[in-house]
């Protein structure tokens, strides 16, 4: 009893001891802040990467890809039962993106990922990275609302602003085309006039579409946006005319922001990112054709930029372009005869083997005895044409994919899932990896930074421990006589020891507790603190242009807080052991005589 009474009294009467634990408090607070911010960064970054990629990616090694995506997914589901929440086939291929800016052709190497928006949004929250879903925030104020509502599903439609841009580009292009025709054709006045008339009609029809129907199917406007694409004609004259098929979209893209923007300093000295290509404008993509044994053949497609994404990961923002998988498959020639299922039935995609439309592809709309009615897709002709053809002359097609993106169920161990999948997908044909494997060095660097900071900060707390030791020693010396009295009154060495140990524990708990509170408050108000410091110093501490986060992300991990606090208490106790032992070992007579 006297131990606690005395311990309490010593706490209350010796504020100098509290001074000694201020360093513990600060150390604990700093550790909590650092860990929270680091965890916030990592979590945010992981979320963003996962938005673009997926938990697990199965890739084929070949250019052709694998002809049966459904079978791949089924095999994955079987290999890792109960682990997979969603999977979507994609086509990933390197490509060169070309566009004109101020009359200069610009070419950028890109990683082209063909996706199906519906499947993709099940695998990763890509929406969160798309510009049209984000409010435009400047200095903490929303200056423009998001162009799309957050509940609008991921798709290839243009926003009204994008449509307007597309319309203007089209008009501009028509005008150029008109001029060129007028100059070129010696006696071609009529044909030029015809062309211009044709173009105007198209333009009018397109604008009607855009103005009247906001939930239009992209396939309706796609030909307009890209049919007269200047790159089709000028930048990529070798482009193969590719037939457009039913239910298949023309080229649509989400482009990484850094690919099509440049930093631009405004008159106020602020740096803005200027888009070189806006959603609605078109670019040209040159990639590699699938198949063939000789040297790789190039394939070029024109595509409209539908949206711009910004993940905050420079590596992706300056490299990745998402496009509609159907278009990419067509351009790359990934429509292959279906070896497994040769039945011709409604909805199947087929290639015609005979008749005037031989080699063209289309979709079976109905069957009629031995005949199938196929709706042809034609790239240059928006009219859709249906032909009746014997079933035997229809070659059912399947679409190859190179990659399957997989989202794992919550709480599933990635390593276990990868190991299971690796068994099912032989390494000679497939590679199975997590997004972490792709970002290994970066994450390792962040982890290492966190570890080093923790070690350094814990050393600070440990240094604080020596302060506690010194002050405790002084207190023991000061209290020598009292210790003698207590011993004379019958207190044992253990009792004396526990007075000072519990003193140490109490100080440690007070210090750690104050540190935890301070740290949590700091973390909670970290953005306000940042603003305040920026205001005082006149220099932005946290530049969102560098870090890509509008605010400092934080994530408080209760376990970390607990361990940090426990560590601090432990250090305080460890530092008090030596003085406490000295106190306990004091000889009562010498202690009583101590002056």
Nearer to another protein, 38 or 486 (CB): 486
Nearer to another protein, 224 or 486 (CB): 486
Strands of 409-451, DSSP E: 430-434
Binder among 177, 289, 319, 481 for another protein (CB under 8 A): 481
Nearest approach in angstroms of CB 486 to another protein is: 7
Binder among 194, 296, 355, 492 for another protein (CB under 8 A): 492
Q: Among the candidate windows 6-14, 359-367, 370-378, 562-570, which touches another protein by CB under 8 A?
A: 6-14
Q: Does 5 bind another protein (CB under 8 A)?
A: yes
Q: Which residue has the tokens 């200027």?
A: 274
Q: Which residue has the tokens 């979507």?
A: 88
Residues in 534-593 that interact with another protein by CB under 8 A:
587-589, 592
Q: Among the candidate windows 2-10, 57-65, 224-232, 502-510, which touches another protein by CB under 8 A?
A: 2-10
Nearest approach in angstroms of CB 474 to another protein is: 16
Q: How many angstroms separate the CA atoms of 512 and 22, rounded?
A: 9
Question: Alpha helices, DSSP H only, in 185-292?
Answer: 189-212, 218-227, 230-233
Q: Check the CA dihedral 585-588-589-594 and report its sign.
A: positive
Q: How many angstroms separate the CA atoms of 517 and 358, rounded?
A: 76
Q: Does 16 bind another protein (CB under 8 A)?
A: no
Under 8 Å between Cβ of 379 and 244:
yes
Nearest approach in angstroms of CB 18 to another protein is: 16
- The vertex-21 CA angle with 19 and 23, nearest 5°, equals 95
Q: How far apart, in Å, do the first and last CA atoms of the chain sit?
A: 27
Q: Does 490 bind another protein (CB under 8 A)?
A: yes
Q: How many angstroms separate the CA atoms of 503 and 492, rounded?
A: 17
Q: Which residue has the tokens 């604990």?
A: 28
Per DSSP, what are the bridge partners of residue 261?
275
Helices (H) and strands (E) in the chain, counts: 19, 19
Nearer to another protein, 533 or 585 (CB): 585
Nearest approach in angstroms of CB 588 to another protein is: 5
Nearest approach in angstroms of CB 489 to another protein is: 5
Binder among 143, 267, 427, 489 for another protein (CB under 8 A): 489
Phi, psi of 422 (to 5 degrees): -65, -30
Nearest approach in angstroms of CB 12 to another protein is: 8
Residues in 494-513 that interact with another protein by CB under 8 A:
495
Binder among 10, 133, 231, 542 for another protein (CB under 8 A): 10
Binder among 470, 488, 533, 566 for another protein (CB under 8 A): 488
Q: Does 9 bind another protein (CB under 8 A)?
A: yes
Nearer to another protein, 168 or 587 (CB): 587
Q: Does 431 bind another protein (CB under 8 A)?
A: no
Q: Among the candidate windows 1-9, 59-67, 132-140, 255-263, which touches another protein by CB under 8 A?
A: 1-9
Binder among 111, 318, 431, 493 for another protein (CB under 8 A): 493
Q: How many angstroms separate the CA atoms of 294 and 570, rounded?
A: 69
**Residue 145 burial (CB < 10 Å; 0-12/13-18/19+)?**
exposed
Q: Does 477 bind another protein (CB under 8 A)?
A: no
SS3 57: strand
Give one DSSP letter per residue of 312-376, joined into a string.
S-HHHHTTEEEEEHHHHHHHHT-EEE-SS-----TT-EEEE-SSTTTT-EEEEEEEETTEEEEEE
Q: Does 13 bind another protein (CB under 8 A)?
A: yes
Give me the residues that bind another protein (CB under 8 A), please: 1-2, 4-6, 9-10, 13, 481-482, 484-493, 495, 587-589, 592
């Amino acid at each position: 009893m006297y131990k606690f009474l005395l311990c309490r009294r010593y706490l209350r009467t010796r504020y100098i001891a509290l001074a000694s634990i201020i360093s513990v408090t600060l150390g604990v607070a700093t550790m909590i802040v650092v860990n929270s911010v680091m965890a916030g960064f990592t979590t945010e970054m992981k979320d963003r990467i996962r938005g673009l990629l997926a938990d697990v990616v199965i890739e084929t090694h070949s250019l052709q890809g694998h002809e049966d995506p459904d079978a791949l997914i089924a095999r994955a589901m079987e290999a890792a039962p109960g682990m997979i929440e969603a999977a979507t086939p994609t086509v990933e291929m390197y490509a060169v993106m070309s566009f004109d800016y101020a009359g200069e052709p610009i070419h950028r190497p890109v990683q082209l990922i063909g996706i199906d928006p519906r499947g993709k949004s099940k695998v990763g929250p890509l929406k969160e990275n798309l510009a049209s879903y984000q409010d435009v925030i400047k200095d903490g104020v929303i200056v423009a609302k998001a162009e799309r509502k957050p509940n609008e599903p991921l798709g290839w439609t243009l926003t009204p602003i994008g449509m307007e841009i597309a319309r203007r580009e089209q008009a501009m292009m028509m005008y150029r085309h008109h001029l060129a025709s007028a100059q070129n054709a010696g006696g071609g006045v009529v044909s030029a006039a015809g062309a211009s008339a044709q173009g105007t009609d198209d333009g009018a029809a397109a604008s009607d579409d855009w103005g009247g129907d906001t939930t239009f199917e992209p396939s309706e406007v796609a030909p307009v946006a890209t049919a007269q694409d200047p790159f089709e004609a000028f930048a990529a004259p070798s482009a193969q005319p590719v037939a457009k098929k039913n239910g298949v979209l023309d080229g649509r893209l989400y482009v990484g922001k850094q690919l099509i923007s440049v930093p631009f300093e405004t008159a106020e000295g602020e740096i803005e990112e200027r888009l070189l290509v806006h959603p609605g404008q078109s670019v040209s993509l040159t990639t590699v054709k699938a198949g063939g044994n000789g040297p790789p053949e190039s394939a070029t497609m024109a595509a409209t930029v539908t949206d711009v994404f910004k993940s905050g990961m420079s590596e992706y923002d300056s490299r990745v372009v998402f496009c509609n998988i159907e278009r990419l498959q067509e351009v790359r020639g990934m429509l292959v005869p279906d070896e497994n299922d040769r039945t011709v039935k409604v909805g199947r995609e087929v290639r015609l083997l005979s008749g005037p439309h031989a080699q063209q592809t289309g979709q079976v709309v109905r069957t009629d005895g031995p005949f199938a009615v196929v709706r042809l897709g034609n790239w240059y002709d928006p009219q859709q044409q249906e032909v009746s053809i014997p079933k035997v002359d229809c070659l059912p097609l399947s679409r190859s994919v190179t990659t399957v993106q997989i989202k794992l169920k919550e709480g599933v161990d990635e390593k276990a899932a990868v190991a299971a999948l690796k068994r099912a997908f032989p390494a000679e044909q497939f590679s199975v990896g997590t997004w972490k494997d792709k970002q290994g060095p970066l994450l390792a660097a962040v982890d290492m930074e966190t570890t080093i900071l923790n070690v350094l900060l814990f050393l600070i707390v440990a240094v604080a421990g020596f302060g506690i030791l010194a002050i405790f020693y002084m207190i023991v010396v000061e209290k020598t006589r009292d210790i003698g009295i207590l011993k004379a009154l019958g207190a044992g060495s253990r009792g004396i020891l526990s007075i000072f140990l519990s003193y140490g524990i109490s100080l440690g708990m007070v210090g750690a507790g104050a540190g935890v509170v301070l740290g949590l408050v700091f973390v909670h108000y970290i953005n306000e603190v940042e603003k305040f410091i920026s205001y005082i110093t006149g220099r932005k501490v946290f530049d969102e242009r560098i870090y890509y986060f509008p605010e400092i992300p934080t994530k408080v991990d209760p376990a970390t807080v607990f361990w940090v606090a426990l560590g601090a208490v432990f250090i305080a106790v460890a530092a008090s052991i030596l003085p406490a032992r000295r106190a306990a070992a004091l000889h009562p007579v010498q202690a009583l005589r101590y002056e």
